[in-house]
Amino acid sequence: MKVPYNYLDRQFDAAETEAILDKLRLLVQTGEFTIGPPVLEFERRLSAMIGVRHVVGTNTGTDALILALKALGIGPGDEVITQVNTFYATVGAIVAVGARPVFVDVDDQYAIDATKIDAAVTPRTKALLPVYWGGLPPDMPAIMAAARRHRLYVVEDACPAVGAAYDGVAAGAFGHTAGFSMHPLKPLHVWGDGGAVATNDDKAAEWLSLYRNHGMVNRDEIAIWGVNQRLQTVQAVVANHILDKVNPWVDRRIAIAERIDAGLSDVLEIIVPPRPKNRRNAYQLYMVRVQRRPELLRYLAGEGVEAKVHYPIPLHLQEAARELKYGRGDFPVAEAQAADIVTLPGHQFLTDAEVDYMIDRIRRFYRR
Amino acid sequence: MTQMTVPYVALGLRARRVKRELMAAIERVIDSGMYILGPDVAEFETRFAAYCGTRYAVGVADGTSALILVLRSLGVGPGDEVITAPNSFAASASSAALLGATPRFVDVRREDMNMDPALLEAAITPRTKAIVPVHLTGAPADMEPILKVAERHGIAVVEDAAQSVGTTYNGRRTGSMGYAGCFSLHPLKNLHGIGDAGVITTSDERLYRWLLKARNHGLRNRDEVEFWSTNSRLDTLQAAVLNVMLDHLDGWIAERRAIAAEYGAALAGVVGVPRETPGSLHTYQTFMIHAENRPALLEHLKARGVDAKVHYPLAIPMQDAARGLDVKMDDFPVTRWLVDRIVSLPLYAEMTAAQRATVIDGVRSFYRR
């Protein structure tokens, strides 16, 4: 049996593809490729789904984070606090606006450890950038409280987390701004790159709309120097088609995660993280910590189970981070997790039989 | 808005001519599941480099990103200056401003509306980090003297080729003469995707290798980041579309040139018309005339259903965004002259003979009164 990590070929079967292509055919007829009506429809619907006043579509999730930071005026001389076990773009975005990333360690759920934020704050700190790593909401109430204590902005890196929520509040509705990615392997995804910024701040939203489109007030006048970071209209068509399916998909991912959790609960070589009930994890990544990782990965590959590692090198140990002057041992929890974490297939298109087969193979490996 | 007899653009018409091919290409991408980079992007890059006569091409998200990436590769930042033309789209200058550098402007020549090489040397300071000549409207900037001045001062030339796919200068395609060429493939361009897209051409191997990483988060491979960067990838869907469009590009350019010749012959002596300089091939991204009494002409054309445009009624130094730059339009007398006179006429291959006649008669009848 094969248990694939990537689900896109199961999702976009002939009928599904045809349904979207029909909508694309209509778009091609009109030629409205630049911030066309589907982009505006998408922005309206996603903002309603998250429960924020504004959503502005962007070209990528990285752009979304860059814009989410810049909209709050974060730039050179400022420090932004985030974590080291995230996708490079989190830090790439901070550096792109000219600010300095400051790291704090993570907790046993792989989320930023809110109790360590206070110690990382300096007079230059401007914002907290917590990550919904793998789709899990971090401790947002504690993070918001820390931000209030120090008068900081909160920019949510909700890139993999459309469909996630904390105490019923959707990812992206806590901070001053939030960035989402719609890369193909995200819960809400398109046929290529796409992203979005969410905010309740009217002024930030107005600036975002200007800045992502060359600063153009209208065709002839530019108010500010801006960039081109528009959401592609063709991708908005795909996103609109998928939007209402995201929450049911996340429901299925949660069911699969619970099944794997239960199936592995007595395997002592595996650490399943705590699963607080008030956090709705979108499970973009189903991650556990394992013993003998290289051997397990090799064994699973041989058995047709496509497991991955996100990621083996934490960000502070990347070559790109050398000027930040961190070293091994600075973030012991994240470093330990990087050494033994594994991402198992956990997507919504897996059958129970496939999930059970994967559980069985892992148990066999550990002779359980 | 009233229905125009001759709309300025008809993007839907263009896409419809190749819709079947486009949809087949899109479907192939969907079936492959390769939505990010992959063979379609690589194929487009190989073909586009061959088309421009450079060793490499790197697909990027849009034309503005192309300029920003290339300026970044040169280390352009705070304290640096970048010289460009004042009568361009904002990105020619904003790309430098967004990196913290100061855009400087050199006035243009009336005949090709491009950077005047005779004025370039005086604009160079010890802080000049790059020169960004623009090939506006599809007419090439006068590259030979520009390259000579740049070489003398050891300054890189980055071609803003956003409007000039296919344009040649002394037999060389734009994008192949400087350190790099930055192309926009936005829907209004002669070669375009169905959305935003861009591409950078270069024959510099180091720049090429850096760009491959810089457009993709600075990643050396899946797990290692060499330097912090952004996501400025060309969408695979757009690359598949561009591969279709590229097959038709030269045909479309020929169609545009035929209409431009028709307009040029009919309107010469009535208004200023664009001319091809010897040794160059103009691709007429826009057909821009110089017209006296412009507001009345535009009214007259509108009344006859002709949707003409102005690219652009405000030169870059006149924009609110430029308020911090300390430049005055008096320094750019030709640009100021042009700003009040330029008019872009509708020009696309899908126009009917009757529509073309409406445009020509519209302009001619205005000045006969």
Distances (CA, A) of A239 to A54, B19, B30, B204: 17, 22, 14, 38
Please tell me which residue, B210 or A14, carries the higher pLDDT value.
B210
How far apart are the CA of A368 and the nearest CA of chain B, in angstroms?
Answer: 32
A308: chain B residues, CB-CB within 8 Å: none
CATH 3.40.640.10, chain B: domain bounds: 11-106+114-243
Q: Do A12 and B187 touch (CB under 8 A)?
A: no
pLDDT of A227 above 90: yes
From the list B68, B90, B218, the residue facing A88 with the nearest CB is B218
The 3-class secondary structure across chain B, one letter per residue, is CCCCCECCCCHHHHHHHCHHHHHHHHHHHHHHCCCECCHHHHHHHHHHHHHHCCCEEEEECCHHHHHHHHHHHCCCCCCCEEEECCCCCCHHHHHHHHCCCEEEECCECCCCCCECHHHHHHHCCCCEEEEECECHHHCCCCHHHHHHHHHHHCCEEEEECCCCCCCEECCEECCCCCCEEEEECCCCCCCCECECCEEEEECCHHHHHHHHHHCECCECCCCCECCCCCECECEHHHHHHHHHHHHHHHHHHHHHHHHHHHHHHHHECCEECCCCCCCEECCCCCEEEECCCHHHHHHHHHHCCECCECCCCCCHHHCHHHHHHCCCHHHCHHHHHHHCCEEEECCCCCCCHHHHHHHHHHHHHHHHC
> How far A210 CA lies from chain B's nearest CA (Å)?
12
Within 13 Å, how many C-alpha atoms sit on residue B99's CB side? Answer: 27
Residues of chain B with CATH 3.90.1150.10: 248-368
The percent of residues in chain A predicted with pLDDT above 70, rounded, is 100
Report domain A246-365's class. Answer: alpha beta
From A12, A193, A234, residue closest to B233, measured CB to CB: A193
What is the rounded distance in angstroms from the CA atom of residue A27 to the CA atom of residue B26? 13
User: Measured between CB atoms, does A63 come within 8 Å of chain B?
Assistant: yes
Residues of B in contact with A93 (CB under 8 A): 230
CA distance A33 to A234: 7
Residue B171: is it exposed, middle or buried by C-beta count within 10 angstroms (0-12/13-18/19+)?
exposed
What's the CA gap between B253 and B239, in Å, rounded?
20
Q: Residue B1's pLDDT is what?
A: 43
Residue A89 is nearest to which of B13, B35, B231, comparing CB atoms?
Answer: B231
- Who among B30, B61, B321 is closest to A224 (CB)? B321
Give the minimum alpha-carbon distance from A24 to chain B in angstroms, rounded to a whole number.
8
> How far apart are alpha carbons A300 and B307 in whole angstroms?
64
A92:B228 CB<8 A: yes
**Of the listed ranges A264-268, B9-13, B189-193, the one predicted with least confidence:** B9-13
Q: How far is it, in rounded angstroms, from Cα A85 to Cα A118?
A: 19
Is A266's Cβ below 8 Å from some Cβ in B? no
Q: Chain B contact for A157, CB < 8 A?
A: no
Q: Per-residue pLDDT averaged across A286-294, rounded?
A: 98
- Of the listed ranges A26-35, A209-218, A263-272, the one predicted with least confidence: A26-35
pLDDT at B15 over 80: no
Q: Which CATH architecture has domain B11-106+114-243?
A: 3-Layer(aba) Sandwich (3.40)
CB nearest to B64's CB, from A224, A228, A315: A228
Two tokens at B122?
A: 């005086």
Q: Are B231 and A215 an interchain contact pair (Cβ–Cβ within 8 Å)? A: no
d(CA B237, CA A237): 13
Minimal Cβ distance to B226: which of A32, A93, A319: A319
Chain B residues touching A237 at Cβ < 8 A: none
Q: How many Cα neighbours within 13 Å face the side chain of A325?
A: 1
Nearest 5°: phi and psi at B305? 80, 15
CA-based nearest distance B209→chain A, Å: 16
Compute φ and ψ for A214, nearest 5 degrees.
65, 15
Mean pLDDT of A282-309: 97
- Angstroms from B170 CA to nearest CA on chain A: 32
For helices B19-32 and A14-30, give the axis angle rounded to 10 degrees. 140
Averaged over B304-328, what is the pLDDT? Answer: 94
Chain B residues within an 8 Å CB radius of A66: 230
Q: What percent of chain B has pLDDT over 90?
A: 91
**With an 8 Å Cβ cutoff, are A89 and B237 in contact?**
no
**Closest partner CB to B187 (pick from A33, A183, A313):** A33
A315 touches chain B (CB under 8 A): yes
**Cβ–Cβ of A28/B228 closer than 8 Å?**
no
Nearest CA in chain A to B311: A220
Rounded distance between C-alpha atoms, residue B244 and residue A81, angstroms: 45
- Phi, psi for A351 (deg, rounded to 5): -90, 160
Q: Do A215 and B236 touch (CB under 8 A)?
A: no
Report which of A233, A11, A32 is spatially closest to residue B30, judged by C-alpha positions. A11
DSSP-derived secondary structure letter, A273 = P
What are the respective helix, strand and coil percentages of chain A, to the nearest 5? 45, 15, 40
Which residues sit opposite A343 in a β-bridge? Answer: A287, A308
Q: What are phi and psi of B95, to 5 degrees?
A: -60, -40
CB atoms within 10 A of CB A118: 11
State the fold for domain A8-244: Aspartate Aminotransferase; domain 2 (3.40.640)
Give, in degrees to the nearest 5, the angle at Cα A362 between A361 and A364: 65
- How much of chain A exceeds pLDDT 90, in percent? 94
pLDDT-derived band at B369, boundaries 50, 70, 90: low
Homologous superfamily, domain B248-368: Aspartate Aminotransferase, domain 1 (3.90.1150.10)
- What is the distance in angstroms between the Cα of A262 and the nearest Cα belonging to chain B? 30
Cis peptide before B312 (omega within 30 of 0): yes
- State the smallest CA–CA distance between residue A178 and chain B in angstroms: 17
Express each pLDDT in B151-205 by its tens digit.
Answer: 999 999 999 999 999 999 999 999 999 999 999 999 999 999 999 999 999 999 9
Res. A246: pLDDT tops 50: yes
Nearest residue on chain A to B65, alpha-carbon basis: A228
Q: Is the peptide bond before A311 cis (omega within 30 degrees of 0)?
A: yes
Per CB-CB distance under 8 Å, the chain A contacts of B193 are 33
How do the domains of chain A map onto residue ranges? 8-244, 246-365
What are the angstrom distances between the C-alpha of A126 and each of A140, B71, B85, B269? Answer: 17, 28, 37, 62
pLDDT at residue number B16 = 81
Distance between CA B256 and CA A303 in Å, rounded? 59
What is the nearest CA distance from A38 to chain B, expressed in angstroms? 12
**Two tokens at A22?**
């029909």
pLDDT at A353 over 70: yes
CB contact under 8 A, B94 and A227: yes
Answer yes or no: do A319 and B68 touch at CB < 8 A. no
**Residue B354 pLDDT grade (very low, low, confident, very high; cuts 50, 70, 90):** very high
Tell me the per-residue pLDDT of A122-145, one tens digit each, with 9 for 90 and over: 999 999 999 999 999 999 999 999
Q: How confident is the model at residue B368 (pLDDT cuts 50, 70, 90)?
A: confident
pTM, two decimals, is 0.88
- Give the gap in angstroms from C-alpha B278 to the nearest C-alpha of chain A: 32
Q: Does residue A83 contact residue A101 with C-beta atoms inside 8 Å?
A: no
Give the pLDDT score at B3.
Answer: 65
Q: Which is more confidently placed, A297 or B16? A: A297
- Report CA Rg, chain A: 21
Q: Which of B89, B228, B241 to mutate to test the interface with A (most CBs of A within 10 A)?
A: B228
CA distance readout (Å), A291 to A211, A294, A313, A319, B16: 48, 9, 17, 27, 57
Q: What is the pLDDT of residue A13?
A: 85
pLDDT digits (tens, 9 = 90+) for A214-223: 999 998 999 9
Question: Which of B183, B230, B236 is most worth mutating to test chain A (most A CB atoms within 10 A of its CB)?
Answer: B230
Residues 6+ apart with CB under 8 A from B51: B166, B173, B246, B249
